[in-house]
Amino acid sequence: MVNCRICRNRSSLISSELGLCLDCIRNEPAQAREIAREVHGRIRREWRLPEQAPRNTDGIVCNLCVNRCQIADGNQGYCGLRKNLQGRFEGVSAARGKLSWYHDPLPTNCVGSWICPAGSGCGYPEYAYVEGAEYGYENLAVFPHACTFHCLYCQNWHFRYRTSDDKYESPENLVRAVTRKTSCICYFGGDPSPQMPFLLQVSREAREGRGGHILRICWETNGAMSKKLLKEMAESSLSSGGCIKIDLKAWDEALHIALTGVTNRQTLENFKWLAQVNTSRPEPPFLIASTLMVPGYTDAREVGRIAKFIASLNPQIPYSLLAFHPEYKMTDLAPTSRKLARQCLDAARQAGLKRVKLGNMHLLW
């Protein structure tokens, strides 16, 4: 049981690290944002990362994502990958990345496996090797070691141990990992956004090396990259039969900042643009949305508002509701309950979405 730092009410649905209840985040957004920024800043100092996106007027500007860091000489950007050394960017680039990968036998537990070619055969024969699940094939799962957000509940937070190391990979090393049984490459993380130039280069080289054989390019992301990179990412997926999976973490901006440290404005704008592109290739689904159901924060009201937004763009866009497991700085919260999952599922359907699914159901309690 934790006391909210604003209303002082006590509840088991309040994260002790954040110290804010959902009602106060919604009803006292200005105060909640200040508290959240202090919380995120304190934790990020432990990782030797900037507390907030730097805004040095004499620094150089990084245009890769929503943070648009203005980085002073000798300092680094919010993601921790790009540094200003005497007026030039150092760190990751199109020629080198900071990431790891592994081969994942298909079908996988991917967010979109229920409607993607790898898991369902959707798009056969142009985009899938078989009419059903692609047993015998594999996904090259690529894990970038950085992120443009700072989610307090991050399910893969261990990547932060690798953000500051000195190990880099070349595009050639990653391309060589594509085998004759690789039918898709999925970039997740962390997030692909800080290393998009590198990952786009890998995608181009990998597909060229396949000589016209199917190799889908998929992205699992917070969706907060620049519009220029978004367009290149969309083209890589559209032309290959791959998909873009956007994690819509919250609708309310104050809640989004409380949970992730960053605004959701660009994510929503980018999702809207992708929904317009989506009509050019309805099958297999090009755009997929997901939301993690965090007890005490991502309630049915929040999911309903996200779903209404998606449905207003296209009610056929697939939406996965994912069960939460206590991780990173929210280990004192319980896993998603079956009751909350059912409420969120009903809210998404009532908002008008036609394709909604509960994911990670083994985590429900």
Residue 88 covered by a domain: no
Whether 73 is in a domain gets the answer no
Mean pLDDT of 292-307: 98
**Considering the chain, what is the average pLDDT of its residues?**
96
User: Does some domain include residue 7?
Assistant: no
Decide if pLDDT at 109 tops 90: no
Domain assignment present for residue 71? The answer is: no
Return left, alpha or beta for 180; rule: phi > 0 is left, psi -120 to 50 is alpha, else beta: alpha
Q: What is the CATH number of the domain that holds 145?
A: 3.20.20.70
How many CA atoms within 13 Å lie on the side-chain side of 317?
A: 31
pLDDT for the residue numbered 281: 82
Q: What is the pLDDT of residues 165-197, one digit of tens each?
A: 989 999 999 999 999 999 999 999 999 999 999
pLDDT at residue 280 above 90?
A: no
Residues 7-19 have a mean pLDDT of: 95
- Share of residues in the chain with pLDDT > 90 (%): 92
Residue in 56, 37, 46 with CA at minimum distance from that of residue 80: 46
Summarize pLDDT for 30-72 with one digit per residue, the tens: 999 999 999 999 999 999 999 999 999 999 999 999 999 999 9
Q: Between the CA of residue 122 and those of 116, 133, 208, 285, what are the distances in Å?
A: 6, 9, 23, 9
What pLDDT is stored for residue 40 in this prediction? 98
SS3 183: strand
Domain housing 270 = 99-363
Count how many domains the chain has: 1
